[in-house]
Amino acid sequence: MADREYDVVVAGAGMVGAAFAALLATKQLANSGQGKKLRIAVLEARPFVMPDLSESFDPRVVALTARSRKLLEDVGAWEQIADRRVCPYQRMEVWEADGTGHIEFDCAEVRQPSLGHIVENALIVEALWQRLDELENVELLCPATVVGLERHSDQEAGVTLSLADGSVITAKLLAAADGAQSKVRELCGLQLRQWEYGHHAIVTTVTTEKNHDFTARQRFLPEGPLAFLPLRTEAGDCHQCSIVWSQQADVAESLMALDDEAFCQALARAGENCLGYIVAVDKRYKIPLKQRHAVDYVVPGVALMGDAAHTIHPLAGQGVNLGFQDVIVLAEEVERAVGRGLSPGDMWALGRYQRRRKPHNLGTMAVMEGFKRIFEEQPLPVRLLRNDGMRAVNRLGPIKNLIVRQAMGLL
């Protein structure tokens, strides 16, 4: 006997799961009038406690595309995020350590007010949880950890979930957004293709001598890319950046072992002092980077989304942007199925979701892998080609325009 029964259960209320629940619930409220609404629940392993970010920035940030921001607007979360703090970036500079290749992108070239926004992960989650709390047709259950799953042969019956506290829940659709180590993916036996990048990302917040001037900067070093992502305090100060410094595992280890002063010096050198000297650094975190892609995103009654379906190198800042596109497409397909009188977990809808999302996610992952490899290669002819290529792209307005629009999610 189930303790609770729902139409849709979302496992994981990180950025992707919380956005999916909020979008589906918002669409339901807008579309179903007096008709029957889907019963939606979100299960989150973490307690409903937000970190105190009044004195510091969350070390984990994302560069959001215009399309991702629109999703957050549509679910009513963007206003709260923007009221708190976000940093638009109007320019992006990409250059290579080993040569003269250099590309600059400017939002004016694509007639947009910015290329995107740098936002702290915790602020996105906080705003989405707040929305979930406000939406009358969603229940946010936390802490609630999925530990077991039974799929039923009758498609209509969906799945039965066991939680760590011993309770049992049924769902016609289980949307699994439980992250890179997805328990649901494991319980469904969904296969994963994965490989180590051999890289670790060091992430932290730094204070710099110079103002970042709303510019995101990325330098490609032979050992891996280093990104300075601009941040802005509530008071409008622009001397802070979140850094993502991808390094081979052993080098990352030794950088982590440095004291703050030596780390700041090493970082300034690696970034060619693009923002002057590094004045201060917050606590550093080291995150192993792995490429993962689920062979299938769906089985009857279950769909993987976000990092549960794919993880990608952060060099182009696309991870959660891809996850948010999963959100938009799965919500569309669930609505379409329900509109036709089908179960929200019907394989017709899930198949369409997989067909719409998998090629796009795979394509983006392949391009990022290509970039990473091209910038790792050291033979002279590759270096010359790379530098010439960057300079050429920088001069070719239409191609540059296309790249920017693609990266911004405008195409």
Ligand X SMILES: Cc1cc2nc3c(=O)[nH]c(=O)nc-3n(C[C@H](O)[C@H](O)[C@H](O)COP(=O)(O)OP(=O)(O)OC[C@H]3O[C@@H](n4cnc5c(N)ncnc54)[C@H](O)[C@@H]3O)c2cc1C
What is the nearest approach in angstroms of ligand X to the Cβ of residue 387?
A: 25
Footprint of ligand X on residues 45-64 (CB under 6 A)? 45-46, 62-63
What is the nearest approach in angstroms of ligand X to the Cβ of residue 145?
A: 4
**Between 62 and 171, whose beta carbon lies closer to ligand X?**
62
Footprint of ligand X on residues 277-316 (CB under 6 A)? 287, 306-307, 314
CB distance 40 to 175 below 8 Å? no
Regarding 368 and contact with ligand X (CB under 6 A), the answer is no
∠ CA 165-323-91 to the nearest 5 degrees?
135
User: Among the candidate windows 89-97, 130-138, 320-328, 384-392, which touches ligand X by CB under 6 A?
Assistant: 320-328
C-alpha span between 72 and 128 (Å, rounded): 8
Regarding 230 and contact with ligand X (CB under 6 A), the answer is no
**Between 218 and 383, whose beta carbon lies closer to ligand X?**
218
**The only residue of 244, 328, 337, 408 in contact with ligand X, by rule CB under 6 A:** 244
Count Cβ atoms below 10 Å from residue 261 Cβ, excluding itself: 11
User: Among the candidate windows 40-48, 79-87, 128-136, 336-344, which touches ligand X by CB under 6 A?
Assistant: 40-48
> Residue 210: helix, strand or coil by DSSP?
coil
Structure tokens at 243: 């850094």
C-alpha span between 90 and 211 (Å, rounded): 14
Regarding 122 and contact with ligand X (CB under 6 A), the answer is no
∠ CA 210-216-221 to the nearest 5 degrees?
95
∠ CA 42-47-50 to the nearest 5 degrees?
105
Q: For residue 325, what are the CA distances in angstroms to 28, 339, 347, 367?
A: 19, 21, 20, 17
Footprint of ligand X on residues 189-218 (CB under 6 A)? 201, 203
Q: Which residues would be at the binding site for ligand X (CB under 6 A)?
A: 11-17, 43-46, 62-63, 145-146, 177-179, 183, 201, 203, 244, 287, 306-307, 314, 317-321, 323
